Amino acid sequence: MIWLGVIGSLFYSSGMARANDVGRAVQRELTRLREGTPQVAAAAPLGGVVVPTAKAVEEARLLYYLAQTQPELPTETRSAWYEEGRAKAQQARDRDPNQAGAIFWWAANEGGFAQLHKSLSSLSAIARLEKVLIQLRADHPDYGYAAANRMLAAIYIAAPAVISIGSYSKAEAALQDAVRRFPEFPGNQIGWIEYLKARGRDEEAQAAARALIKSGTLKRGYGEFEYDRLHWEAELAQILPTEEVKPASPAPRAPH
């Protein structure tokens, strides 16, 4: 989930237009949500009526993706979106402390903000973030196609070992559990591919990437995680020839 580095490195060159298209789609969805138009029914528990908690969680989700999909914008702009997303998710957590979406999108915005700044204070934030995600995994292991495991793995791969968080063995265990629970979700497969790359197992990573494309699962819609496909495409494009990676337009959102 924490994937700004991949977007920044790839889409400044060949795919910025694609990233901008997705960013505009996120902005339109956020505008519709705040205006209360019917398109936000997917975020509601019943009958298309968005209750305050669900709306706050949805805003947190969209603010996260707004910051993730537009790396060309000033750091201050993206930081503000992460901070607002974190605040919206915290509002939802205050209303319902065990709401999985509220916890996860709080963590996503917290992680995005920390990654963007890469300071000593952000390292301590990552340590706090790990604790939140471990609890989320224990309470809601299946939420978001094992989203807590995916984010934990990303942290374990990227975090410096000097703060005793970085761990390939923990990343491997988290991803194996995510793949076991939801083997067809592309995000779990992409996480495994990133792990293989980090370990220098490039041939295995390429084989896994080709298997993912061949499986056809990238063509499906994935509800609230649909915008993650920009990251999936970016990761695949980094390890496979361009002609093997064919971006797919985001599918219509569906209730998750």
Q: Tell me: the pLDDT tens digits for 161-183?
A: 555 778 899 999 999 999 999 99
Residue 126's pLDDT is what? Answer: 82
8 has pLDDT over 90: no
Compute φ and ψ for 253, nearest 5 degrees. -70, 145
- The mean predicted confidence, pLDDT, of the chain is 83
State the average pLDDT over residues 66-89.
Answer: 93
> Three-state SS string across the chain, please?
CCCHHHHHHHHCCCCHHHHHHHHHHHHHHHHHHHHCCHHHHHHCCCCCCCCHHHHHHHHHHHHHHHHHCCCCCCHHHHHHHHHHHHHHHHHHHHHCCCCHHHHHHHHHHHHHHHHHHCCHHHHHHHHHHHHHHHHHHHHCCCHHHHHHHHHHHHHHHHCCHHHCCCCHHHHHHHHHHHHHHCCCCHHHHHHHHHHHHHCCCHHHHHHHHHHHHHHCHHHCCCHHHHHHHHHHHHHHHHHCCHHHCCCCCCCCCCCC
Does the structure show a pLDDT above 80 at 38?
no
Q: What percent of the chain has pLDDT over 90?
A: 57
* Mean pLDDT across 70-97: 94
Where residue 49 falls among pLDDT bands split at 50, 70, 90? Answer: very low
Higher pLDDT, residue 3 or 110:
110
pLDDT of 4 higher than 80: no
Domain membership flag for residue 135: no
Q: What is the model's pLDDT at position 245?
A: 75
Give the residue with greater pLDDT, 47 vs 17: 17
What tens digit of pLDDT does each residue of 185-195 get? 999 999 999 99
Please report the sign of the dihedral spanned by the C-alpha atoms of residue 205, residue 227, residue 152, residue 238. positive
How do residues 132-162 score in pLDDT, each as one tens digit? 999 999 999 999 999 999 999 999 998 765 5
Q: Is residue 16 very low, low, confident or very high in pLDDT (cuts 50, 70, 90)?
A: low
| Whether residue 251 has pLDDT greater than 50 | no
Write out the residue range of the structural domain in which residue 233 sits. 183-256
Q: Which residue has the higher pLDDT, 250 or 206?
A: 206
Supply 145's token pair.
Answer: 């196609």
Distances (CA, A) of 237 to 11, 85, 197, 240: 10, 29, 13, 5
Q: Does residue 256 carry a pLDDT above 90?
A: no
What does the pLDDT look like over 105-129, one tens digit per residue? 999 999 998 888 876 556 778 888 9
Cβ neighbour number for residue 67 with a 10 Å cutoff: 28
In this structure, is residue 39 part of a structural domain? no
The reply to whether the predicted model has a pTM over 0.75 is yes
What pLDDT is stored for residue 149 in this prediction? 97
Residue 174 lies in a domain: no
What average pLDDT score do residues 12-20 get?
A: 58
Q: How many domains does the chain have?
A: 1
For residue 5, is pLDDT > 60? no
Q: Tell whether 201 is covered by a domain.
A: yes
pLDDT for 36 equals 80
Question: Can you say whether residue 168 is alpha, beta or left, with left for phi > 0 and alpha for psi between -120 and 50 degrees?
Answer: alpha
